[in-house]
Amino acid sequence: MSYLKNQNKMPEFLCNYLKYKNFIAFCPTTTIETYYCNLKVFLKFIKLYFYDKEKLDYIDKTTFKDVEIQDITIDDMAKVTRNDIESYIYFLSNVLQNDSKTKNNKVSVLKKFFDYLANNNFIPDNPTINIDYARVKKRLPKYLNLKESKQMLSHSIKSNDKYKIRNYAIICLFLNCGMRLSELVNINISDIKLDERTIKITGKGNKQRILYLNNASKEVINKYMKVRQKIGYDNADRDALFLSSRNKRISRRNVESIITNKLTTLFAEKEGLHTHSLRHSCASMLYNENNVDVFILKRILGHESLSATEVYTHVDSKKMRYIMDNCTISSLLEK
C-alpha cells in the first residue's frame, strides 16, 4: 500500500491510524488508500492554515500538492475547531473546486479520523461532531441499454488473442453480474465453482455474497481459463482470476483503461460513460427488461440499504407506457 511506502512523509499519528484501519479494522485496500489521500489533503490545509495562512489566499492546486505534512503534531490536531473544519470545507469548494459529493466523502473520512483520535484520548474533543454534509443532487448514472450492451459484447468477442478473451470476460461479468470494479479485480479462481454456477464476491467492508452465473458468464470464464497464463506457486497472485501481462493481478486502472477505450470507440456520442456504467447497465436491464424485484436486485448488487438500490430502479419509457396503459384506475375499471 502507498501509505506504507511513504511513512517517513507523514506524521506518526496518521500512520498509526491507517495501520489501525488496515490491520485491526480490516478495511479494504481501496478504503485505506481513500483515507490516506483525503487525510493528506486535510493535513496540508491545516499546515498552511495554522502556520502560513496568507499563502491560502493565492495557492493553486499544483503548489498545494507540494506541501509537506510530516512535521504536523498531535497537538495540532487537538487545536482544530469546528470553525477550522468549516474553513477547510470552504477551501475544498473554492480552491480545490470539489463538488458536493467529493466534499462529503472527505468530511466522512475526517469524522471517522477525529472520532478515532477522541475515543483514544489523543485529543480532548471531536470538532467534526456537528459538521453537516452538503446536499447532493441525485443524478441517474449513465448506462447502456440492452441493444448497446449486446453491441459492446459482440464487438469484443471475435478474437483468439488471450488478452482480448480476458477483456471480453471482464466486460461479460460486468454486464451479467453487475459487480463493482474493486470486486471484479479481487476475484480469485477459488471463488468460482463452475459446477454449481456460483461466484463469491467480496464487496465493501469485506462483506461477501454469492452470485449465480448464467450460461454466458460460465462459458466465458471457461474460455478464458483455457488461455489464462500458467503461473507458479511462488507468484503471490497465482489465485487471481484476471492477470495482467506481467502475470500480476490486474489493476483497477488497467481495467478502467480497457473499458474506457471500448466505450469511447463504440459510443463516442454518449457522454459520461465509464466503468461503473456497466454495473448500472446490468442493474437497469435486470429491473427494466427482466422485472427483477428490487429486494433481489439489492442482494445482487450488494447494497447495505434499499435506498442505495433506488438509483438503479428508474423506469424506462417503454415500461412507463405499459404501466400507465394497464395499471391506472381507468384501465382497471375497463377490465
Amino acid sitting at position 10: M
Q: Which of 99, 119, 139 is the last residue of a domain?
A: 119
**Phi and psi, residue 274, nearest 5°:** -155, -175
Angle at which helix 29-51 crosses helix 82-94, to 10 degrees, equals 100
Q: What is the 3-state secondary structure (H, E, C) of 135-178?
A: CCCCCCCCCCCHHHHHHHHHHHHCCCCHHHHHHHHHHHHHHHHC
Amino acid sitting at position 240: A
Question: Is 274 annotated in the active site?
Answer: no
Question: Is 180 annotated in the active site?
Answer: yes
Question: Is 204 annotated in the active site?
Answer: yes
Q: Which of 118, 91, 228 is CA-nearest to residue 167?
A: 228
CATH number for 241: 1.10.443.10
Residue 206 zone, left/alpha/beta (φ > 0; ψ -120 to 50; rest) = left
Please report whether residue 189 resides in a domain: yes
Which residue in the list 162, 274, 276, 314 is annotated as catalytic?
276
Which pLDDT value is given to residue 321? Answer: 56
Residue 73 zone, left/alpha/beta (φ > 0; ψ -120 to 50; rest) = beta
Which residue in the list 162, 204, 248, 252 is annotated as catalytic?
204
Which pLDDT value is given to residue 334? Answer: 47
Which pLDDT value is given to residue 312? Answer: 67
Which pLDDT value is given to residue 329? Answer: 54
> 94 lies in which domain range?
2-119
Residues 77 and 167 in one domain: no
Q: Which residues are bridge partners to 208 per DSSP?
A: 202
Check if the beta carbon of residue 277 is closer than 8 Å to that of residue 144. Answer: yes
Which pLDDT value is given to residue 314? Answer: 61
Q: Which of 101, 119, 137 is the last residue of a domain?
A: 119
Q: Which residues are bridge partners to 257 per DSSP?
A: none
Please report whether residue 86 resides in a domain: yes
Residues 49 and 88 in one domain: yes
Overall domain count for the chain: 2
Which residue in the list 180, 218, 262, 298 is annotated as catalytic?
180
Check if the beta carbon of residue 237 is closer than 8 Å to that of residue 221. Answer: no
Tens-of-pLDDT digits for all 335 residues of the chain? 678 888 899 999 999 999 999 999 988 888 899 999 999 999 999 999 999 998 888 888 888 999 999 999 999 999 999 999 999 999 999 889 998 889 999 999 999 999 999 999 999 999 999 898 878 776 667 889 889 999 998 888 767 789 999 999 999 999 999 999 999 999 999 999 999 999 999 988 888 999 999 999 999 999 999 999 888 889 999 999 999 999 999 999 999 999 999 999 999 888 889 999 999 999 888 888 777 888 888 888 888 888 777 776 665 555 555 545 555 454 444 44
Residues 114 and 161 in one domain: no
Question: Is 279 annotated in the active site?
Answer: yes
Residues 191 and 268 in one domain: yes
Cα–Cα distance measured from residue 88 to residue 30, given in angstroms and rounded to the nearest whole number: 24
